[in-house]
Structure 1
């Protein structure tokens, strides 16, 4: 095809730098772009095709000087090495006598392997030379954004337009990766004008199946995407080998500008990996992008990934109430879509204890609480089943309390408290398996859970508590359940007595260790009383006695000493008296022990505060650090108090007629 290069380059040069994409429109004088824009989707390019070469030509390793000249963008230096300049002082031997080792550089060309150290022996550099990864000069210039050099190289050899490196990447794709939109515009324009064909250049793919639009979207280059969507919107419908569309990549990168550009044209694909769509990613990364996608195509909300999960499943598990409400408004029926395990979005929110999401879903779809998974479990089963250390904190307990309060306050939800799954387990069964007495208290107080329910194995919630590995959690769970009338399932009483004997042995061993701790605390508190901050004056009176912090220190230290001594006495009693007395003494000793630790810590804070004097900021920092640790200690003391006060209510008999611990008293008598 005859082609007037001067006319083509003049069109490009007449345009302003930031408007080079208009060159693509100027090239449409004979209607060639019309077919390109409307072209249908095409299958991925065949892998492993060779780079187009002129007849008899070969690819050679690029000499270092030519590489550096191309990288710098200097046309004059490039021409010197290529022998295109009218006058050159470059000596060919200086370039090509360089010793380089490229082991197995071209696997398919045995002649290159045999060459060994010497690269090639041509008299001058050529445009066909490539780097170690088969990048041509045009690859390098396009990636670096050297606009004038790109024009110059294409003018001298337009076959470089379709050249591909070892990853089947074209110069156009590298320019897109670097975000050089002006180079993109120029290459596409010159490809069409030169007869190579813009369609041929635009539709080539890398070994990963990525098109030039994939690269632009992946790296968030909005200007490049705008150019590509102007000339070839069909690219937006392509997916790579990982089933990722450009839209999905842009969403995952959180590139709002690229997403807007892609949504302005035609019908872009929203496909993602593992059968996801772009909305699956959007609900996790950006509320704004999720809203844009829902406004563009609300049907995306019904899309399922490989596990059957919808975007609402993702949003519900993430706890983003804004996104959840947006989906509920645009696609309310997604509430009833279940994944492969039968879990609804309500189950997903319950698993993470997201109260606001649970409340919102039930408000939008009041009957959604009836949904059960493949195991026959409602959302309250899931709430109780997934109580654990990761959400056993202040916020987690607060959300849990709110969820149970929601269930107890709505007449239609109360039925969930004692509902059985396919194995006969109620939510109380699952809560007892986890062994968190505070969680059990929420269920027992607010929801009036039935503690006598047995599952298909004939076990009650109290039976499950015995299998807990932690004795302290087991004891607390049993005491809490027994205080609300829980009973063991019918079984031999000697089994229960064996358990009580093991519990007594544990108390004896633990008491021995705790006595050492309590005595150590008493020793420290006693010593601190006579080594007060600021020392004493000549009359033996504390110098800082008029300071309020000092007086607080004295009071707290006295409490710590008294509590530790009391704990020591109770622990000694726990080892010496009957089983009944050992339980009571041990539980109360724990309370006094924690009080002594708590007050000793606070006494230390007051001592440091009075010693620092007017250093307010340091004092405030110390107090803040202490307050950070206050809540868990307060909760521990509160729990131990309830534990000790609940022992008189403990009933280990299966028929509930007598108190098993009272039987122990009678045995001792």
Structure 2
């Protein structure tokens, strides 16, 4: 049973509970099934056990081991390395650990949140002690990532700002004209594309810089890894991607204005190479970005509602059978 929970073999656990329903109350080397599931970070099996427990859920989640460790103390321990490595980046690993701790905290009665184990330690204290190294690694990962992205965003902001005053084909230089200093191709559609793209690149790169600066100056407390830091990194990466795409569009528009009279085919290779650059950046950074968005805004800790119909029927049936047996 311990091995099945460790490796997430939900079918085996379901069949065992179907034949031996009392197993949710038994101990395996001093630990119950729910304690093992929490320690191994297996939310599917934990959801299964909680659903089967039925009306005895409060009694089940309030049980302690021989050292008076509650299930919240088990959630406070560092996850196995195999589970941590499923998430890329120490900061996202720390975020997942905080989400797991809060998830277990939500199913425990409030009076058990501050209980002490045999070593006189609360679950929160255990969590802080066990995750010191991961917090430091998460801080380093965040700062390194933010620093690298900040350099790129600053370069884009510099180029976009300079491009606003060195427009393609120059300005009208006639002191006797009311349009003196006005861009020559101001009324052209391509120039409008250049102006809009350059403005978007400037503002988005500045926004990206601000987000990465906020990350660099954060306090890096455990709670910051829950939503604050990931949200800033998500906004920073999103605006950085927008600024890169915009500056390439701006360059393409300016290049077209300069060369279209002599080389009408010039926009084609410019657009092609620009698209390759944008797609390459998206290919390299989008998986990390998608993972951050998913874990930040769609965490599945104890919220797995996508169980198969078969599993739902089985767990509901088991819960009813346990209740019927108790009544007898």
TM-score (normalised: structure 1) = 0.26
- The structure with the largest alpha-carbon Rg is 1
Considering Cα pairs closer than 8 Å and 6+ residues apart, tell me whether 1 or 2 has the greater RCO.
Answer: 2
TM-score (normalised: structure 2) = 0.49
